[in-house]
Amino acid sequence: MVKKEDARVLRTKKNIEETTITLLTTQPNFSITLLLRRADVTRGTFYKYYQNKEHLISEVNHTLIQEFIQYTQGKFHVAEMIQAVSDRAAFYNAVLNLHSNSVYAKTLMSRMRMQMQSQLGIIEDEELYRHQMFQWEIITGGFWALISKWLLDNMNVTQTKLLQEFIEVLRVDSTGWTQTGLNLFDFDNVN
């Protein structure tokens, strides 16, 4: 039987984790004391749910990766990925441009690669598999470089315009996609 957590416990943990995200964004080397003061929780409450700061950051990273990875199920839904970054712009700016949470960045890329490999798993032709894998790496690298620059420029264009720019850079044309890494991505705009 699955044990349900009390709503107060969930709210307290959510408060601690959201405060941690803010601190990771602004003061990556924050102390537990600062976290407790900002989250307005006691040391005992903190240690009731987390073993230490590293455990907390690991839990936060896991939550944020789950939040993002839902947009890479089946295909990499680029518009939704942009929206997810936008929703946590300060955090992603700190990760991508200030290198404040390298564990998150490495783990997210690892999870995205696992998704890609699972999607390419049906390809039996080794050369085609390698070709599409390399293209996926190029497209994904381009995506994160564009996102990094967009965040650095204070998100000075709309998400729709950013998606259009990405499509233009890649010269996305739906003909012949089945033999390229583009077939792993969904470039439809979300309304």
Whether 157 and 86 have beta carbons less than 8 Å apart is answered as no
Whether 181 and 128 have beta carbons less than 8 Å apart is answered as no
Maximum CA extent, the chain: 60
Average pLDDT over residues 27-37: 96
Residue 91's pLDDT band (cuts 50, 70, 90): very high
Distance CA 100, CA 65 (A): 16
**Closest alpha carbon to 72 in 132, 165, 140:** 140
pLDDT in the model for residue 60: 97
pLDDT in the model for residue 119: 87
